[in-house]
Amino acid sequence: MPEQLAINGGTPVRATKLYYGRQWITDEDVKAVAETMTGDLITCGPKVTAAEQKLCAYTGAKHAVVVSNGTAALHAACAAAGIKAGDEVITTPLTFMASANCALYVGAKPVFADINEKTYNIDPASIEACITKRTKAVIPVDYTGQACDYDAIRALCDKHHLILIEDAAHAIGTSYKDKKVGTVADMTCFSFHPVKTVTAGEGGAITTDDDELYHKLALFRGHGIERDPANMEETPEGIWVYEQQMLGYNYRMTDFQAALLMSQMERLDAFGARRKEIVKRYNEAFKDMEELVLQEEIAESDTTRHLYVIQLNLEKLTCTRAEFFNAMSAENVQCQVHYIPVYLSPYYQSLGYQRGLCPKAERLYERIMSIPLYPMMTDDDVTDVITAVKKLVAAYRK
C-alpha cells in the first residue's frame, strides 16, 4: 500500500513549506549595502562601475553594462542591435515573456522556434526554418542554466548575418565549451532577480566584446545622453554640455544594488557548486524512475543550474500534472511551472499567435514542474523533496 498523500489527509512529508527558489542574503551582503548607503553617490557611482568590472573579470567579456533588471538588459540589447519595426527576432516559447517582449518593445515581431524535446533548449533546425529576409536576431535562452547548442546557432547567425543575443537570465556561471557564458554571443543578458543565481534585489546586465555595441548600450541605459566630449558631435562650449544622441531610457541600477551584486558574486562559485551537488542528488534519485523524464544534459555545457525540472511521463501515471503539482504543495514542497509557452498568453493570442505553433514546447509544458533548487537548501530539505516526489509517484503509478 502506498503511503497516504497529504492531499488526501495523510501527513505531509515536511512541516514547513519549501519554495522552488530563493535568495541567500548574508551579513556581509547587508554590510556591503549599508556601507554604500552613506557614501557620496547612491546611484551611478563607484559600485556600479566596480560591478561592471567584476562581471567582465568573471565572464572574460570586454565590456559590461549594468542595468535596472534583466528585461531592461534584453530591451537595451535589441535597441543596440538596431532591431526595429518590420524586423523579426527568433526566440523560444519556453521562457519568461521578457525574452519575446523585448522584440515588441523595439517594434519588431517575435517569431517562435520550437524546442529540442530532450534538452528543452531552442532547436537550431527550427530556428533555421523560421529565418526570413526580415530576420535580424536570434535570442536563445539558456533554459534552466544549460547552454544552448551555440556552435550550430552561431553558424546559422553567420550564414544569415543575424545578431546573436543570449538570454542568460538562468545561466550566470555556466560555460559553453570552456567559454564562460557572457562571451559566447554578440551580447549576453543577465538577470539578478532574487530567484536567480546571484541577486541585486532587481538588476540586470549585458556583456559584449564589441566596442560600438557597448557604447550604444551605455547610452541607452541613460536616456541616450552622451557626456564624454570625445564622443560628441559638436565641440562642447563648456564642461556642462551633454548631448542626447538617441532615444534612451532610465534603466540605471543604484549603487546599493550594485554593492549587493558584488557581494553576491563573491559567492557565485560556491552557489554554483552547491547547486551542482543538489542536481547530482536529484539526478541519482530519479534516473531510474520510468514515471519521470529528466532534462538531457549536453557535454558542451558545464551548467550552473538555476532550475531543476521534472517531466512527468503521463503514460505511466494516473494523475495529471495539475494533480501532481497540487499534491506536492500539500506535502509542503512548493513547485513552479517554467513556463507557459509565451504565445499562449492572452496578449500574444490577441496579436494573432495560435496554439499549435510549437508542438514540442506545448507538449512539454503540459508535463513539467520545477522542484526546489537553491543553495541554502539543506541536505535534509533535498531529501524531503526526493521523498515527496517518490511518495507521489508510488501513489499515482499506473
Ligand X SMILES: *Cc1c(COP(=O)(O)O)cnc(C)c1O
Residues found near ligand X in the complex (CB under 6 A): 69-71, 95-96, 98-99, 141, 167, 169-170, 191, 193, 204
Spatial distance between the Cα atoms of 124 and 67, rounded to a whole number of angstroms: 30
Locate all alpha helices (DSSP H) within 60-199, ordered by sequence. 70-80, 98-105, 124-130, 150-160
Residue at shortest CB range from ligand X: 70
Separate counts of helices (H) and strands (E) for the chain = 13, 15
Which residue in the list 47, 54, 136, 196 is annotated as catalytic? 196
Given a contact cutoff of 8 angstroms between Cβ atoms, the answer to whether 99 and 167 are in contact is yes
E-state strands within the chain = 63-67, 88-91, 109-112, 135-139, 163-167, 175-176, 179-180, 187-191, 204-208, 225-226, 243-244, 292-294, 301-302, 308-312, 368-371
Nearer to ligand X, 373 or 389 (CB): 373
**Smallest separation, CB 102 to ligand X (Å):** 9
Q: Is 336 exposed, middle or buried (0-12, 13-18, 19+ CB in 10 A)?
A: middle
Nearer to ligand X, 89 or 169 (CB): 169
Provide the 8-state DSSP code for 306: S
**Smallest separation, CB 330 to ligand X (Å):** 27
Among all chains, which residue has been given the C-alpha cell 570586454?
62
**Smallest separation, CB 159 to ligand X (Å):** 26
Nearer to ligand X, 112 or 396 (CB): 112
Is 133 among the catalytic positions? no
**Smallest separation, CB 101 to ligand X (Å):** 9
Nearer to ligand X, 14 or 305 (CB): 305
Nearer to ligand X, 258 or 317 (CB): 258
**Smallest separation, CB 51 to ligand X (Å):** 15
- Please give the grid coordinates belonging to residue 324: 501532481
Using the CB atoms, write b or e for 281-310: b if 16+ within 10 Å.
bbeebbeebebbbbbebbebbbbbbbbbbb
Q: Is 31 helix (H, G, I), strand (E, B) or coil?
A: helix
Among all chains, which residue has been given the C-alpha cell 557604447?
215
Q: How far separated are the first and last CA of the chain, in Å rounded?
A: 13
- Please give the grid coordinates belonging to residue 360: 514540442
Nearer to ligand X, 12 or 375 (CB): 375
Q: Show which residues are catalytic.
A: 196
